[in-house]
Every structure is written in structure tokens, then in C-alpha cells.
Amino acid sequence: MDHDSKMSEGRVMRVVIVGGGTVGLCTAVFLARQGVSVHVLERRPKVNDHPRAFGLTDRSAEILREAGIEVDTAQFARGLMSGPSLAELTPVTTKFERPEIGPAKLGSCPQDLVDRAAVALLRELGSRVDFDSEVVAVADDSVTTADGRVVTADYVIAADGVRSRIRELLGIGVTGPGELDGSNVLGGSHMLNVLFRAELPAPPLSMTFLRNERAAGILYRVDEAGRWIFHIRNGDPDTPAEQIQQQIRDATGVADAEPEIISQIPWSSTAQVADVFRRGNFFLVGDAAHAVPPVGGFGLNMGIADGHNLAWKLAAGGDALLDTYEAERRPVALFSMRQSVIRAQNHTLHWNNDPSLAAERAAVGMAGIMIPVVGYRYDSPAVVDPEPLPDLENLVLDGAPGSRLPHLWLPDGRSTVDLVDGFTLLTGTAADHWLDAAREVDITAHAVAGWAEAAHIKEDGAVLVRPDGFVGWRTATTRTDASSERQLRDVLDRILCRQRPGALTQEA
Ligand SMILES: Cc1cc2nc3c(=O)[nH]c(=O)nc-3n(C[C@H](O)[C@H](O)[C@H](O)COP(=O)(O)OP(=O)(O)OC[C@H]3O[C@@H](n4cnc5c(N)ncnc54)[C@H](O)[C@@H]3O)c2cc1C
């Protein structure tokens, strides 16, 4: 059944999300915000207390902020330290400068805090989150849980992680190197992620590489309540607790520490991308769609952006528009997978963002860190006249169709990023005809001083920003071959992949 016939009864669309990890829960919030009825099915009895990811990029922070998922990334300072013990640490990075992309900032936040905030918000929004609900079978318009419940839906989103059961049930394969060997990933392919509680001297709230002759691993301070995570290189999940406790003492150099082991997750660094991101009414997001080595911190951030990309398309509706989810997100996943592998193989270059190393980065094919974060470009039917990525090293947000909109501070302290509210037209200061047209077609519009320069248009030009903050269309100056309103209706139809009788042709 296609989307239009499904929704023709005028009822609220129902989406089931399989997997209540961070990506599933955030995607649920994005959909609930759009008025979609969401039902999350998670096999665990509660939110996973054991965080894997900490780094939230400025783009992810921006998306969470827009959705109202409130997490304080600022209390967890950035900064990476390295040394033989907690007593002897030096900063890893010599330079970690990033261009400002908007009001939200790069930060660090244990994944479980994002999950808890998302669950609380979903309940407030009236969405259903069922724990103890493992999905074991799928049909065209339903999923079945281990206890025999059949949950029907118009669409199903598989957010069930790297070993996705749904991906397997749908018969979708994966592409990529798979599990990476030990020489290239933080010194080991198999890691044991140990969550523990202890009194340890506090380094900056950040990631700390510890390496001495007795032990090596990566230590995170999870919170101020004494929770820590230690990633043990080549750690064996069957290691007795006493041995792990001793490794923590050895690595940190705190001989009298009494770590209380809370939980352990064995993990291996994997690089793979699903062959398709959509099959019928099913969509893959997050690690179910792509898994990348942790170097670069792209994994979770990519998953959050998947959900954000898919949510507005599901809410807007239409099969052709929904196809653009894969057309836009799969190339980003393939690109980020390659970038993570290159970064895993070139640690020194990864940890040092100094612009003077641009040539060395280029020689190994490493893009600037902001490109996988927010600098990539979409090329799909949901963008009118997309423009290719101009530069692999430097972030260029210049208003080109397919790119995230440029950020410009406004006199009232907001950013152009804050103006996006559904489809939004941002114009120069001599574009009343565009403002009138936007009013006629009932979308938000703003004339912004300085926008013409930022978005490479004239003062009578305009940029149509999609609900996800990406530029869908740009007109540098007023066209005379059609009315502004007609042009605007036409480009909206094109971005939404709708055929409208009498619509202007491609070159309008
Ligand atoms: C050591 C490490 C460090 C990392 N650091 C970063 C970082 O700094 N930044 C970053 O962006 N990424 C990082 N990542 C990657 C990040 O952790 C993952 O990309 C992210 O957790 C994926 O989220 P997800 O919701 O897609 O999948 P998951 O977190 O795996 O969640 C999937 C959920 O689905 C549930 N589930 C599975 N099967 C079923 C079923 N059949 N029915 C119902 N529920 C089911 C599971 O219980 C789980 O809760 C790191 C990963 C590791 C291992």
C-alpha cells in the first residue's frame, strides 16, 4: 500500500520503532514532534545504563536542542588527555579549533542521559515506549514480539543496533570491511567496555588514554557520582572481576582504588553499511544501517541525523520522498565509514586538527573533521539543483542546495538556524515578493540582513530551507519568467517529490 492511500482515511500515521537505544528514542521524539503516533519497542527492561558513546557533535546538539531533548553537554568538558597514569597527563591535541556552525556546541554527554531525557519527553508527548518487548518477526505492516503481541504500523523503523534482527529478517546484506583487525583500532580490535564506580582523582571530564608497562586502555569519567568507564584493550569478557579491578588500579596508578564493577560490554570495531536503507515500509537507522569504528565519533551522531532526516519525510509523506532517505543518508554513511577507517589507521593525524597538516591529511584521503559532521552535501530529488562538495578539508556552508544552511547571528541573539520552522524561506532585504509568496503558500519566511552575502544571493534572492535545516533550493535573484508564488509552489512540489498538474518544468 502506498503512503497516500494509507493516509487517505485522514487518520494519524502510526510508526513503530524497533529498538529503544539512543537513535530509536531520538527518532521517536522527532516523529512525535511532527504529530506522528510513535510506539517504541525495546527488548531491554529499561534504558541502557551503560553508555558507549559520549561525543555529541555540534550538529547533533543542534538537532537535540531543536527537538527539546535537553541534555547539558557543557558540564562534560571536552579535551583529551594521555599519559602513563592519572597523575601524569598531558593534552593529546595541540589544536582542536572548529568553525562555529550555530548556537549549539560540540560537547560530551554519556548516551544514557540522552536516552533518559528522550524517554521522559516521549511520555510527556503521549508516545508509547514499551520495554521488555523484543521483536522476533515482521510482516508487511506489523511486527511481532517474543511474547506474541502483534503491533501494526504504517511504517516500521529498525533502530535495533549493529546486529539488527530486523535487517536480517528483511534479508538486507551489508557492505564494508566488517570487523577491523587489532593493529588499527585504538591498539586492539576486541575491547571490553567496563562501567565501574570508584573514587579516583578527577582528570578533566574527558577521555583519557592511559598506557604504562602494566596496563593500557581508555578511561572516561561518566559523571560526578563516581561512575567511570574503562575500555580494556583486547579485554576478555570472561576476565574475573578481581583481575579487571587490578587492571584499573594498574592503568590509573591509584594502587588503593576499590572499583565496583557495574557492567561490561565486549565490543569490536566494525565498519559496515547496509546495502539498502529501505525495504517497503521498513527503514533502517543508526547502527542497524551503518557501523563505523569509534575514532572520529561519527556513529551515534550519524544515527541521530538519520532519524532527523527520515522524520520530516515520513510526516510529509509520499513514497518518492521517502526514497530520498536512502539516497541522502546512505552516501553519508559510506563516506563516514571510509573516513572512520582512515582515521583509525592514522591516529596522529586524527587527533591533531592543525590546518598546517592539511596536505598530510589529503595524502591519506582524510577529510576535515567537519565534513562528516555537517559539511556533506545531499544529492537527491528532494534538493533542487544540488551542488557538489567543493572542498574535502574545509567546511563550506554557503547556501548551496544540498548543504546545511549558513549560520548567521541575528541582532536579537538568535541564529538563522533558529529561524527554521518546517519549510522556511530566508531572503535578502529587498525580497518582498518572496515574503508575499511564502505567505500565500503558507510557509515561514524571514528577510535577514547579511543573508545575501552568507547565502551567495542578491538582496532580492531567496533560499528555501527544508525542515531538517538543509537547503532545498536557492534563487540568487528574482526570476521574471514566472510569478514568485508559482515558482515557490513548484519548488516545494519538486522537493516533496510530488507531481502537480500544470507544475513548471525542471528549468523554472
Ligand atoms: C566504545 C565506543 C565508543 C563510541 N563512541 C562514540 C562517540 O563518541 N560518538 C558517536 O557518535 N558514536 C560513538 N560510538 C557509536 C555509538 O555507540 C553507536 O553508534 C550508537 O550507540 C548506536 O545507537 P543505536 O541506537 O543505533 O544502536 P544501539 O545503541 O545498539 O541500540 C539498539 C537498541 O535496540 C535494542 N534491540 C535490539 N534488537 C531488538 C529487538 N529485536 N527488539 C527490540 N529491541 C531490540 C537493543 O536492546 C538496543 O537498546 C561508540 C561506540 C563504541 C562501541
Atom of ligand 1 nearest to the CA of 134: 42
Residue identifier of the C-alpha nearest atom 39 of ligand 1: 160
* Ligand 1 pocket: which of 27, 40, 42, 52 to mutate (most atoms within 8 A of CB): 52
Of 278, 353, 270, 343, the C-alpha closest to 310 is 278
- Indicate if 472 and 358 belong to the same structural domain: no
Mean pLDDT of 341-349: 88
Residue 186 lies in a domain: no
CA of 269 relative to ligand 1 center, distance in Å? 13
CA of 145 relative to ligand 1 center, distance in Å? 20
Residue 9 has pLDDT above 60, yes or no: no
CA of 373 relative to ligand 1 center, distance in Å? 18
**DSSP, residue by residue, 397-426:** -SS-TTSBPPP-B-TTS-BGGGG--SSEEE
- Indicate if 166 and 309 belong to the same structural domain: yes
Crossing angle, helix 484-495 and helix 432-441, to 10 degrees? 50
Residue identifier of the C-alpha nearest atom 35 of ligand 1: 19
Atom of ligand 1 nearest to the CA of 54: 8
CA of 23 relative to ligand 1 center, distance in Å? 7
- Indicate if 175 and 311 belong to the same structural domain: yes
* Ligand 1 pocket: which of 160, 208, 302 to mutate (most atoms within 8 A of CB): 160
280: left (phi over 0), alpha (psi -120 to 50) or beta: left
- Indicate if 303 and 432 belong to the same structural domain: no
Residue 351: the pLDDT is: 80
* Structure confidence by residue, pLDDT tens digits, 443-496: 999 999 999 999 999 999 999 999 999 999 999 987 666 799 999 999 999 999
- Indicate if 443 and 308 belong to the same structural domain: no
Residue 78: the pLDDT is: 61
Residue 279 lies in a domain: yes
Cβ(55) – ligand 1 distance below 6 Å? yes
Share of the chain above pLDDT 90, in %: 73
Residue 267: the pLDDT is: 87
CA of 134 relative to ligand 1 center, distance in Å? 16
> What pTM value is reported for the model?
0.94
Cβ(118) – ligand 1 distance below 6 Å? no
**DSSP, residue by residue, 163-207:** T-HHHHHTT--EEEEEEPPTTSSTT-SEEEEEEEE-------SSE
Residue 351 lies in a domain: yes
* Structure confidence by residue, pLDDT tens digits, 254-289: 999 999 999 999 988 899 999 999 999 999 999 999
Q: How far apart are CA 404 and CA 85, in angstroms?
A: 42
Share of the chain above pLDDT 70, in %: 92
- Indicate if 347 and 461 belong to the same structural domain: no
Pairing of strands 174-179, 270-274: antiparallel
CA of 98 relative to ligand 1 center, distance in Å? 26
* Structure confidence by residue, pLDDT tens digits, 296-331: 889 999 999 999 999 999 999 999 999 999 999 999
Cβ(329) – ligand 1 distance below 6 Å? no
- Indicate if 455 and 312 belong to the same structural domain: no
Least confident of 47-61, 277-291, 398-412: 47-61
Q: What angle do CA 308, 75, 412 make, to 5 degrees?
A: 65
Residue 508: the pLDDT is: 33
| Secondary-structure percent of the chain, ordered helix, strand, coil, rounded to 5 | 30, 25, 45
* Structure confidence by residue, pLDDT tens digits, 363-398: 999 999 999 999 999 999 999 999 999 999 999 999
Residue 77: the pLDDT is: 56
Mean pLDDT of 388-411: 96
* Structure confidence by residue, pLDDT tens digits, 167-221: 999 999 999 999 887 544 455 567 899 999 999 987 766 788 898 999 888 898 8
Residue identifier of the C-alpha nearest atom 15 of ligand 1: 299
Pairing of strands 278-279, 227-233: unpaired
Mark which of 354, 374, 394 sits at the end of a domain: 374
Residue 476: the pLDDT is: 93
Residue 150: the pLDDT is: 98
CA of 31 relative to ligand 1 center, distance in Å? 19
Assess contact for 407 and 465: CB atoms under 8 A. no
Q: What is the CA radius of gyration of the chain?
A: 24
**For the chain, how many structural domains are there in total?**
2
Residue 206 lies in a domain: no
Residue identifier of the C-alpha nearest atom 53 of ligand 1: 52
Confidence band for 361, pLDDT divided at 50, 70 and 90: very high
Residue 1: the pLDDT is: 44
- Indicate if 281 and 352 belong to the same structural domain: yes
Residue 348 lies in a domain: yes
- Indicate if 314 and 165 belong to the same structural domain: yes
Name the H helices within 54-200.
58-67, 111-124, 165-169
Mean pLDDT of 15-38: 97
CATH number, domain containing residue 16? 3.50.50.60
The torsion of the CA quartet 110, 114, 116, 122, rounded to 10 degrees, works out to -170
- Indicate if 335 and 440 belong to the same structural domain: no
CA of 36 relative to ligand 1 center, distance in Å? 24
CA of 251 relative to ligand 1 center, distance in Å? 27
Q: How far apart are CA 94 and CA 90, in angstroms?
A: 10
Assess contact for 115 and 19: CB atoms under 8 A. no
CATH number, domain containing residue 480? 3.40.30.120
Q: How far apart are CA 86 and CA 230, in angstroms?
A: 13
Mark which of 374, 395, 425 sits at the end of a domain: 374
Q: What is the span of the domain harbouring residue 347?
A: 3-73+109-180+271-374
- Indicate if 141 and 155 belong to the same structural domain: yes
Residue 473 lies in a domain: yes
Mark which of 356, 374, 392 sits at the end of a domain: 374
Q: Which amino acid is at 250?
A: D
Cβ(267) – ligand 1 distance below 6 Å? yes
Q: How far apart are CA 82 and CA 91, in angstroms?
A: 6
CB count within 10 Å of CB 173 equals: 10
Pairing of strands 227-233, 55-56: unpaired
Residue 244 lies in a domain: no
Residue 437 has pLDDT above 70, yes or no: yes
Q: How far apart are CA 5 and CA 318, in angstroms?
A: 10
Higher local confidence (pLDDT), 169 or 294: 169
Residue 137 lies in a domain: yes
Residue 80: the pLDDT is: 77
- Indicate if 293 and 353 belong to the same structural domain: yes
Residue 8 has pLDDT above 60, yes or no: no
* Structure confidence by residue, pLDDT tens digits, 71-126: 877 665 566 788 899 998 888 765 567 899 999 988 888 899 999 999 999 999 99
